[in-house]
Each structure stands twice: as C-alpha cells, then as structure tokens.
C-alpha cells in the first residue's frame, strides 16, 4: 500500500447518481487485485475529514477506474472532479477475491455493489471461468450491464429483488462459487440462499472506516470464532469474507 497523489484523467457521468472516475496511477496499478479498495480524498480538501473507501472498478494498464454513487458530501465532492484535478489516495487496501479457474461462477450485486465485481469478472473470464451475473437496484439509474436484471420498482428488467433470480438460477444450475456485494440486508438474504444450496459464497462488506489500514479498529465486523465470535476489520482482514463466517445480526 502507498499514499500517493494521482491525477484524474476522466470523470464520466453515468447518470444522475453514478459516475466513473479514472486516475493515472502507474505506481500502484500493477499491484491491485480484484476486490481491493482505496481510501481516497481530494488533495488539499479536508472536509469531510475522513477519506472515503472506494473499490477498484477496473484496472486498465496504468489507469485505475472507480465507479462511485453520490450519496453524501464526500461522494458529491468527487462527482465534481475534472481532468487534471488531484486525488490523494491510499492503497491498494484489503484482501481480494479468490481467483479460481475453470469454474462456474455466479456474481450477485445490488446498486453500487456492482463496482468491485466488475474487475473481478474480467479476471474470472481471463482465467477461464464461466461467469453469470445477476444485478439489481432500486430503479433504472441503478442498473448496469449484467445477465439478469432486477429493480425494486420494475423500471428496468424484472421487478423484485436479486434473491428471486438467485433462487431460480441455483435451482436450474450448479455453481462452484458465488461472489456477492450489495446492501447488507441483500447479502444476508443471499448468504442464506447460498447456504441452502450448499454453495460457497464470498461477500464484500462495508463498514465506516477511519484509517483503512487496520490500526484504528473502527471498521469492525462480527466474524464467527469457535462457538462464539470476534471482531475483524473490514479494511485489513476484509473486505472479502466467506459468507458463512459473517454474523449478520450482530
């Protein structure tokens, strides 16, 4: 991991809520694995105080892409960034997705949970896996290219939750591995379904972060340990965990 200044190459507006930020970062682009994230802030701007954890959406040679959803002050500020503006980033951070080969892999995402799976998909394919992707969101704005699409309001794809599609497809076909990222409640439901179908699943978790490097213990998540549990850090031990190890109700 490094703390470096990088330049914005392009800020692509996807729709009113989402945008894609491309940075030029030769120093670190080669050391990134899918599922990792960066702690980013605008150089010289210390409001908000804390950096924002953002997953790697895609790595293209020396460039790194972040897909971001506007939800509050920090992400709103990012949305105004222009070419040549400077980001202050720390990363790559966290563990990464296991990269199998010659497997049947199911990806399930909700909303901005799409971001970390996008780079993963590319790597899975080039590692000779078969990939199926179910993506869901609240409404059309939350929908991006995938194999099966769901929206809460029916404005795109099928009306309903991704869990419907997950059950259906697992009934029809056997998968070796599932990767899942989205709202906590969605990941919890998906993890119950994966369990029912005895399929190994990894989730990418989110928690409020301060340091991003494992020193402050702020980003705790309850993980099973023997008959009880302990707290692990999303930023260092995670963000990827085996869904069976996560205590969803803690």
Partner 1 sequence: MNRLKTKLGKLELKNPITVASGTFGVENNNFIDFNSLGAIVSKTITKNEKIGNPPPRLYETSNGLLNSIGLQNPGLKGFIENVLPKYATYETPFIVSFSGSTIDEFSEILLELEKYDSISGYEVNVSCPNVENEGIAFGTDPKIVYKLTKQLASQTDKELIIKLTPNVTDIVSIAKAAEDAGANSLALINTLLGMSIDWKSGKSHIRRGIAGYSGPAIKPVAIQNVYRVSSNVKIPILAMGGVSNWKDALEFFYAGANVVAIGTYNFVNPKITIETIDNLNRHFLSRNQNLTEIIGKINGIN
Ligand X SMILES: Cc1cc2nc3c(=O)[nH]c(=O)nc-3n(C[C@H](O)[C@H](O)[C@H](O)COP(=O)(O)OP(=O)(O)OC[C@H]3O[C@@H](n4cnc5c(N)ncnc54)[C@H](O)[C@@H]3O)c2cc1C
Ligand Y SMILES: Cc1cc2nc3c(=O)[nH]c(=O)nc-3n(C[C@H](O)[C@H](O)[C@H](O)COP(=O)(O)O)c2cc1C
Q: What x/- string results for residues 150 through 189 when contact with ligand FES is judged by CB under 6 A?
A: ----------------------------------------
Edge-to-edge strand list for the sheet holding 200-204: 158-159, 148-151, 130-137, 104-110, 177-181, 200-204, 240-242
Q: Tokens representing 57?
A: 């959406």
At its nearest, how many Å lie between ligand X and the CB of residue 225? Answer: 22
Q: Tokens representing 16?
A: 């009113």
Closest CA to 6 of 40, 48, 46: 40
Pairwise CA distance, residues 137 & 154, whole Å: 10
Of 191-250, binders to partner 1 (CB under 8 A) are 207-222, 229-231, 236, 250
Pairwise CA distance, residues 247 & 222, whole Å: 5
Q: What x/- string results for residues 206 through 225 when contact with ligand Y is judged by CB under 6 A?
A: ----x-----x-x-------
17 makes contact, choosing from ligand Y, ligand X, ligand FES, none, with CB < 5 to 8 Å by partner type, with none
210 interacts with ligand FES by CB under 6 A:
yes
# residues near ligand FES by CB under 6 A: 12
- Comparing CB distances to ligand X, the nearer of 80 and 159 is 80
175 and 205 Cβ atoms separated by less than 8 Å: no
Contacts with partner 1, residue ranges (CB under 8 A): 1-3, 41, 46-51, 88, 90, 207-222, 229-231, 236, 250
């Amino acid at each position: 991991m490094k703390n470096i200044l990088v330049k914005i190459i392009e800020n692509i507006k996807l729709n009113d809520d989402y945008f894609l930020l491309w940075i030029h970062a030769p120093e670190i682009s080669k050391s990134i694995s899918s599922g990792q994230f960066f702690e980013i802030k605008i150089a010289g701007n210390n409001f908000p105080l804390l950096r924002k954890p953002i997953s790697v959406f895609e790595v293209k040679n020396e460039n790194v892409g972040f897909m971001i959803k506007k939800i509050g002050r920090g992400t709103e500020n990012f949305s105004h960034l222009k070419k040549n503006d400077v980001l202050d980033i720390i990363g790559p951070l966290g563990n990464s997705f296991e990269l199998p080969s010659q497997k049947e892999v199911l990806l399930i995402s909700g909303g901005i949970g799409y971001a970390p799976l996008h780079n993963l998909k590319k790597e899975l394919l080039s590692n000779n896996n078969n990939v199926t992707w179910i993506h869901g969101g609240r409404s059309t704005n939350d929908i991006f290219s995938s194999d099966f699409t769901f929206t809460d309001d029916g404005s795109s794809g099928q009306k309903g939750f991704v869990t419907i599609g997950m059950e259906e497809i697992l009934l029809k076909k056997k998968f070796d591995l599932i990767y899942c990222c989205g709202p906590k409640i969605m990941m919890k439901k998906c993890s119950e379904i994966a369990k029912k179908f005895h399929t190994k699943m990894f989730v990418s978790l989110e928690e409020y972060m301060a340091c991003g490097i494992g020193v402050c213990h702020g980003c705790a998540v309850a993980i099973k340990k023997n008959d009880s549990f302990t707290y692990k850090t999303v930023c260092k031990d995670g963000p990827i965990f085996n869904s069976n190890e996560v205590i969803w109700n803690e």
